[in-house]
Amino acid sequence: MHKFKILKAANDQFRIQFLYNAEVMVWSESYASKASAKNCIESIKKNAPGAATVDVSKDETGSGYRFEIVASKDGEHFVRFKASNGETMVRSETYASKASAKNCIESVKKNAPDAPVEDETASA
């Protein structure tokens, strides 16, 4: 099952994760407020399904909401989801194959819109 989680981060900040079962697929940087973390989730739910995929490792460029496939220093690849203002919203782990990075993108596009949100900060 796919789901989003809102988690506490350092310095009274918040971050999000998108998971499949117990595996974290993508995660955010820290947000100063829980409202900003919730906005990130809503934006992914709304904008990820129609977002373009840009292969930065092939020098492709893009604008608007987009997934980027990025080469890491060791030749592996990871995924970033960027907002229309160019800010990175979430990123993935590093994958040995580009095909795995593409599978991550397709899973977020397909499953994020209807994924439930668990707020793990509510009881904290």
With beta carbons less than 8 A apart as the criterion, state whether 27 and 90 touch: yes
pTM of the model: 0.93
What token pair was written down for 7? 């988690």
What token pair was written down for 34? 């829980």
- pLDDT, tens digit only, all 124 positions of the chain: 999 999 999 999 999 999 999 999 999 999 999 999 999 999 999 999 999 999 999 999 999 999 999 999 888 999 999 999 999 999 999 999 999 999 999 999 999 999 999 999 986 4
Query: What is the CATH T-level fold of the domain 2-119, as seen in this structure?
Result: PH-domain like (2.30.29)
| Structural domain boundaries in the chain | 2-119
With beta carbons less than 8 A apart as the criterion, state whether 107 and 90 touch: no
Distance CA 122, CA 91 (A): 24
Residues above pLDDT 90, as percent of the chain: 94
Closest CA relative to residue 123, chosen from 8, 3, 4, 2: 8
